[in-house]
Amino acid sequence: MFVLIVGAGRVGAAVAKRALARGHEVSVLDEDPLSHERLVEVEGRTWEDAGGIFTVGTALEVDALIEAGVQRADVFIASTDGDNTNLTVAQIVKRRFGIEKVLCRVMDPARAAWYAEQGLHTISPTQHAIEMFEQALGAEEE
Amino acid sequence: MYVIVVGSGKVGLNLSRELIAKGHEVTLLEADRRRYLVVEEELEHAVQYGDATELWVLERAGIQRADLVVAVTGDDEDNMLVCQVAKEKYLCERVIARVNNPRNLQHFKLLGIQPVVSATDLILRLIEHEVPRYGLVHLLALEEERLEIIELEVQEGAPAAAKRVAEVALPEGSLIISVLRDGRGFVPTPETVVEAGDQVLLVLDSGLEDQITPVFAPD
């Protein structure tokens, strides 16, 4: 499987490394060249030696997306630190490049829910945190 | 009319002022606290503090009853998403979005956001209009209807020069609708003679441009 990840922050980089270790082809796009540092050391090798691809560019630049391999991506993950960037780029690649599996990180639970209703696969860390706090609180009360 | 304006930079603030002066009800939304405090001194209750890409901020501003949402922040992604949510979630019939980077125009189109306004694009068109050497000016493009209106200068020695309008060999789906000569324009009849140096306005089906330009340029 070819996985394209936009945004190599803590989440994006960790998901990228795990996907590569599982034998997938993985390409990462980030506007910050230094974010590459989060990708080093995959089983003792550099990102590139381990077969990973890294491209510098912003999510909305179509040229950068193409350079990063969007045209042959089976899975697309939008995990930049901006909800609006993630929601925009996720919808664009879905519509323009016809990628079926598009995952999108959205911190704002309200919009994560609404866009999920519209057919976008959103993942909201905030919503997960809220639920886990609630659960933990419930366990205290018992 | 009730208008929600998103982004209180120069565009948003001036637009809000004008709309209020024209008697419209306006709520201006600003996400930056410091900018909000500055604008609030002038607009008072007509400006609210908050990030309009968050649903509750739009709801607090009364998005459900808005006749028009205008997103003019300096961030294209914000403008796109505010308009998308206004249209698709809150069923606001009219939205207008500002495009900061003309390269993002394709993304607005892909998400179905229109009309859009791009200052860069407008200035480019004005430059085209002011510099006739460019030859061809796009005056209007009705994309849904697939029609365009263009302006062309008739050059010396062109096939159309010194011909009657009826004789100018234009492809089917195009028509000369007016002639600008010596600073004034008029609607030609089939008998009007097109002269070199005239500017002609044509209406045409999209895509015919390449067949039309040679008619007004020398070989």
Q: What pLDDT was estimated at residue A139?
A: 80
Q: Within a domain: residue B136? A: yes
Instruction: Indicate if B195 and B92 belong to the same structural domain.
Output: no
Instruction: Indicate if B151 and B211 belong to the same structural domain.
Output: yes
Is the Cβ pair B85, A114 closer than 8 Å? Answer: yes
Q: Within a domain: residue B126? A: no
Instruction: Indicate if B141 and B175 belong to the same structural domain.
Output: yes
Q: Which residue has the higher pLDDT, B24 or B132?
A: B24
- B170-216 tens-digit pLDDT: 999 999 999 999 889 999 999 999 999 999 999 999 888 888 988 99
Last residue of a domain, one of B95, B118, B141: B118
Round to whole Å and give the CA distance between A20 and A14: 10
List the single residue in B with minimal CA-CA distance to A95. B110
Count chain A–chain B contacts defined by CB atoms under 8 A. Answer: 44
Q: Within a domain: residue B65? A: yes
For residues B26 and B5, is the Cβ–Cβ distance under 8 A? yes
Q: What pLDDT was estimated at residue A42?
A: 62
Q: Within a domain: residue B29? A: yes
Q: Kindly give the parts of chain A with pLDDT less than 70.
A: 42-43, 142
Q: What pLDDT was estimated at residue B140?
A: 82
Q: What fold does the segment set A2-141 form as a domain?
A: Rossmann fold (3.40.50)
Round to whole Å and give the CA distance between A124 and A128: 6
Instruction: Indicate if B141 and B109 belong to the same structural domain.
Output: no
| Facing residue for B81 by CB, picked from A61, A87, A110 | A87
Q: Per the structure, how many domains does chain B have?
A: 2
Instruction: Indicate if B67 and B154 belong to the same structural domain.
Output: no
Q: What pLDDT was estimated at residue A44?
A: 77
CA atoms B77, B83, B88, B90: torsion sign: positive
Q: Which domain holds residue B87?
A: 2-118
ipTM of the complex: 0.87
Last residue of a domain, one of B63, B92, B118: B118
Q: Within a domain: residue B103? A: yes
| Facing residue for B110 by CB, picked from A61, A87, A95 | A95
Contact residues, chain A, for B85 at CB < 8 Å: 111, 114
Give this prediction's pTM: 0.78
Last residue of a domain, one of B96, B118, B140: B118
Round to whole Å and give the CA distance between B144 and B123: 23
Residue B82 dihedral angles phi and psi, to the nearest 5°: -60, -45
